[in-house]
Structure 1
C-alpha cells in the first residue's frame, strides 16, 4: 500500500495540472492531507462512494498519463544515472565533477 501511495503522489506531482480542480482537491485531501473518504465526503458535501469513485478514476487517469508521457519514469532514470555518475566521480576523487553532479541532483 505504501508503494502505491508513493507512486500516486509522484504521478500527482507530475500531472496535477492536467486534472480538474475537483480532482486535484480530492487527491490533495486524500493523499497529501491524509483525510479519510468520510472526512472528504463531509467537507465536500458529496457521498463517500462518489469521492471513492472520483479518486479511483483520477488514479487511473494519472497512470494513463504516465503510460503516454512517461515523465515519472524518465525522472527515475535520470536520478539513477546521476547517482551512478556521482559514485564514479567519488571513486575517481574528482571534486569538480562531484560538485557538478550534486548540483544536478539538487535541480532534479
Structure 2
C-alpha cells in the first residue's frame, strides 16, 4: 500500500495541473493530508461513496497520463543515472561516466 501511495503522490505532483479543482482537492486531502473518506465527504457535503469514486477515477486518469507522457518514469531513470554518476565520480571511473552521459542523452 505504501508503494501505491508513493507512486500516486509522484503522479499527482507531475500531473495535478491536468486535473479539475475538485479532483485536486480530493487527492490533496486524501493522499497528502491523510484525511479519511468520511472527513472529505463531510467537508465537501457529498457522500463517502462519491469521494471514493472520484479518487479512484482520478487515480486511473493519473495512470493514463503517465502511460502516455512517462514523466514519472523518466524522473526515476534520471535519478538512477545521477546516483550512478555520483558513484562513478567517487571512483573516478571515466568510462562509466561516458556510458551514463549517453544514457542521459537517450532519455530525451
Would you say how many aligned residue pairs link Structure 1 and Structure 2?
95
**Offset at 1:93?**
8.6
SS across alignment from 2:88: helix
- Structure 1: state its 5+ residue gaps: 98-108
2: distance between equivalents of 1:86 and 1:33? Answer: 34
Q: Which residue of 1 aligns with 2:101?
A: none
Q: Which residue of 2 aligns with 1:22?
A: 22
1: distance between equivalents of 2:65 and 2:52? Answer: 20
The 1:10–1:77 alpha-carbon spacing in structure 2 relative to 1, beyond 3 Å, is same
After superposing on structure 2, the runs of 4+ consecutive aligned residues of structure 1 that deviate more than 2 Å are: none
CA deviation profile, 1:45-95 (whole Å, cap 9, x unmatched): 00000000000000000000000000000000000001101100011199x
State the TM-score, normalized to the length of structure 2. 0.85
SS across alignment from 1:46: coil
State the TM-score, normalized to the length of structure 1. 0.85
Q: Which residue of 2 aligns with 1:61?
A: 61
CA deviation profile, 1:6-42 (whole Å, cap 9, x unmatched): 0000000000000000000000000000000000000
- Structure 2: state its 5+ residue gaps: 98-108
1: distance between equivalents of 2:92 and 2:73? Answer: 29
